[in-house]
A and B are shown apart, each in its own frame.
Chain A
Amino acid sequence: MIKQILMLALLSSSAHAESPQRILDSLVAQAGPASAARGEKLYRGKFSGGKTADSCTACHTDNAKAVGRHVRTSKAIDPLAPVAQKDRFTDPEKVEKWFRRNCNDVLGRACSPQEKADFTAYMISLK
């Protein structure tokens, strides 16, 4: 019983919601100052390393505040910008998971901490 309560406490603390700014801060701590402009370039850039899509915009559209569509499955994707979708960039594990998967899908490699920080700064800058 005590074990279960401890597990629950552990789980709820690991799922603790952060603010997008806090998530950006911890990325900046690993990378150095972030640039929203560089982040936008990454978001709009065309790449050839990935197998799924050639750009972020292929699924998330030119407007990160709009509903996107998965390029393979056509499933609707909630907007990426926190201003349009409140729970974006609030769960550090989720943020890491999607950088891991999507950088691989588009760039064919992991993103650097700098790229992640820039990208997050761009998303937060959208109003």
Chain B
Amino acid sequence: MNNANAMTWKHLLMLLLAVGGSTLLISQAPANDEANFPMPAGKAYVDECGSCHTAYAPGMLPARAWRKMMAELADHFGEDASLSEPRRMEITQALELLASDGSQATLRMRRINATIPASAAPQRISETGYFRFIHDEVRPSIWKRKQIGTLANCIACHPRANDGRYGEREIRIPQN
């Protein structure tokens, strides 16, 4: 009888610990919908890359894709986006470190990475499977709005995109 009682208390304690532990874990973990990406430290990335387009989160493409892009800046989607060599190196390294196949990749980044064939080095995030999947609810008429215009204009609907923040709650779709 005593033995049985002891077992019950032990079980109850374990149950409490398990529930408490899980609660703690869940409350500490970023909500899935927050979609925060790590961004390069310092201002170089946003200054150099973010003036013509959104400073895309490095975690949206694998390192090989960024390396290819950073090696072809003189003809960057038809534009001359060349940088001084120290700047180019600095930004390339930051991109590699935080890329979708980097050692620090978050679960979401790894999921993005899984939609990109190992043989491919995509140069447009909008051509990756994950991008298409996650935006499949957006009607074509919305993309055509003047303030959005192109799939490259993340910051039009994700105002904090340059901080790596793409959470659903922060989406603001321009009305025209």
Task: Spell out A's residues near B (CB within 8 Å).
Answer: 51-52, 69-70, 72-77, 101, 104-105
Q: Which of A72, A75, A101 contacts B155 (CB 8 A)?
A: A75
User: B81 to A73, Cβ gap below 8 A?
Assistant: no
Residues of the A chain whose Cβ atoms lie less than 8 Å from the Cβ of B78: 51-52, 72
CA of A37 to CA of B47, assembled, Å: 31
Known: A101-B80, A105-B80. A75 touches B148 (CB 8 A): no
A-B contact pairs, 5 of them (CB 8 A): A73-B152, A74-B147, A75-B152, A101-B81, A105-B79
Count how many chain B residues have C-beta atoms less than 8 Å from C-beta atoms of the other chain.
18
- Give the residue name and chain of the B residue nearest to A52 (CB): B79
User: A74 to B79, Cβ gap below 8 A?
Assistant: no
User: B156 to A74, Cβ gap below 8 A?
Assistant: yes
Contact with A along B68-80 (1 / 0, CB 8 A): 0000000001111
User: A75 to B53, Cβ gap below 8 A?
Assistant: yes
Q: Which of B51, B77, B152, B156 has the most CB of A within 10 A?
A: B51
CA of A78 to CA of B149, assembled, Å: 17
List which B94-136 residues lie within 8 A (CB) of chain A: none
List which B42-67 residues lie within 8 A (CB) of chain A: 51-54
Q: How far is the CB of A69 from chain B (nearest CB, A)?
A: 7
Q: Which of B51, B54, B148, B150 contacts A72 (CB 8 A)?
A: B150
CA of A38 to CA of B47, assembled, Å: 30
User: B149 to A74, Cβ gap below 8 A?
Assistant: yes
B153 interfacial by beta-carbon distance below 8 Å: yes
Q: Which of B51, B77, B153 contacts A74 (CB 8 A)?
A: B153
User: A69 to B80, Cβ gap below 8 A?
Assistant: no
Residues of the A chain whose Cβ atoms lie less than 8 Å from the Cβ of B155: 75-76
CA of A77 to CA of B54, assembled, Å: 11
CA of A45 to CA of B12, assembled, Å: 80
Q: How far is the CB of B79 from chain A (nearest CB, A)?
A: 5
